[in-house]
Structure 1
Amino acid sequence: MKEALRKHIEEIVPLTDEQFDIVFSYFKSKKLKKKDFLVKQGDSVNCEYFVVSGLVKAFYSDDEGKDHIMQFAMENWWVTDYQALLHKTPAQLDIDCLEDTKLLCITLEDKDKLCAALHKMEYFFRKKSNSGYVALQRRILSLLNNDAKERYEQFMSLYPSLYQRVSKTLIAAYLGVTRETLSRLT
C-alpha cells in the first residue's frame, strides 16, 4: 500500500524518504470485500479514499430505485462523496466495492494539516483535484452532447481496462443507456 501511494504521488511531486514518511503517517488503511459499502446514502463522510487495489463504484439511486453511476474508481484513483465531505452534509451517493478492495483514507482535517506541513502535497492535491474536475466536465459534456454510440466509444477509449472488470449492466448505467442499447452498440 505504501509503495503504491508513493509512486502515485511522485508522478506529480518528488518526495524524500522523510517527506514520504510524514505523508504516509496521515493515512489509514482499509480493506473491504466485494459488495461491501464504503459510503451509504445518508452517512456522514469524513474521508477521501485512494484505491490501492480493487474497484468501486459511486452511484446515486433516484426515487424510482434507478441507479445512476457517477464514477468508477480503480487503482490509483481517488473517490468519496465530495459534497458530503466538504460541506458536512449527509452522503447523497453510495459507494460500494465491485471487487475486494484495499484503500488508504485521509480525513479532511488531516489532509489540511498535511498540506500545511508539506506544501508539495498541497500542489499534489490541487493537480489531482483539477484533473478530476476536467474528467467530470468531459463526462457531463459527453452526456449532454453525444449519442449513446459516441459515449460508448469515448468510454472504451478512456477506460479500456474497465470493460473487462465491469458488467455490461453497470457500463450501461454509467453511460445512461439501457442494457439492451449497450448490447446493440457492442
Structure 2
Amino acid sequence: MSEILKQQIERITPLTNNEFDYILSHFTTKKLKKHQFLIQENDLVQNDHFVTKGLLKAYYINQEGKEHIMQFGMEDWWITDYQAYFNQNKATLNIDCVEAAEVLCLSLHNREKLCADMHKIEHFFRKKSNAGYVALQRRILSLLNSNAKERYEQLLRQYPTLFQRVPKSLIASYLGVSRETLSRLSS
C-alpha cells in the first residue's frame, strides 16, 4: 500500500529506505467503503489524502442542489478540500467514495514537520503543488474556452480508465453538462 507513495515521491526525488520509513511514520491509514464520506461540507479538514486504492470524488453542491464535481481522486493522486486544509477551517466540499478506497492521511502539522525536517519532501510538495496549479489553470481555461465535446475528448484522452470506473452521470457533472448532452457526445 505504501509502495505507491514511495514510487510517487521517487519520481521527483530519490529516497533511502530509512528516509521513506520516516516519512511514512507521519501518515495514518484509512479504509473507506463505497459511498462513504471522507470529508463532508462543514467538517474541519485535518488531512490531505493520498489514494492508494479506489476512487473518490470531490464536489460542491450549489444552492439549487446541483452537484458540481471539482476533482476525482484515484490511485496515486492526492485529494482533500485544500482551502479548508491549508486554512485549517471547515470544508466547503464533500469528498466521498465512488469505489471502496484506502488512503494515507497526512495532517498539516505532520506535513509542515516533514518539510522542515527534510528538504527532499519540501521539494516534492512544491513540485506537486506547482503541477496542481498548472492542472487547475488548464481545467479552468478548458471550461471557459472549450465546448462540451472538446472537454469530453480531452478528458477521455487524459484519463481513459476513468470512463470505465465512473458512471456517465458523474462524468457529465465533472464536465459541466447534462447527462443527455454527455450521451450525445459519447455516441
The answer to whether the superposition gives a TM-score over 0.5 is: yes
**SS at structure 2 position matched to 1:86:** helix
Counterpart CA distance in 2 for 1:88 and 1:107 is 10
Counterpart CA distance in 2 for 1:169 and 1:147 is 18
1:163 maps to 2:163: yes
RMSD: 0.6
For residues 91-106 of structure 1, the aligned pairs below 5 Å read 91-106=91-106
Q: What residue number does 1:8 align with?
A: 8
Counterpart CA distance in 2 for 1:67 and 1:133 is 23
Residue segments in structure 2 that go unaligned for 5+ positions in a row: none
For residues 1-186 of structure 1, the aligned pairs below 5 Å read 1-186=1-186
Counterpart CA distance in 2 for 1:27 and 1:101 is 16
Paired residues, number:
186
Partner amino acid, structure 2, of 1:10: E
Give the % identical residues.
60
For residues 56-110 of structure 1, give each alpha carbon's deviation from its aligned partner in whole angstroms, at most 9, with x where no partner exists: 0000000111000000010000000000111122100000000010100100010
Counterpart CA distance in 2 for 1:92 and 1:61 is 9
Counterpart CA distance in 2 for 1:163 and 1:87 is 33
For residues 149-180 of structure 1, give each alpha carbon's deviation from its aligned partner in whole angstroms, at most 9, with x where no partner exists: 00001110111110100000000000000000
Counterpart CA distance in 2 for 1:79 and 1:166 is 17
Counterpart CA distance in 2 for 1:84 and 1:49 is 13
Partner amino acid, structure 2, of 1:14: P
Counterpart CA distance in 2 for 1:3 and 1:95 is 24
**Which stretches of structure 1, 4 residues or longer, exceed 6 Å deviation after superposition?**
none
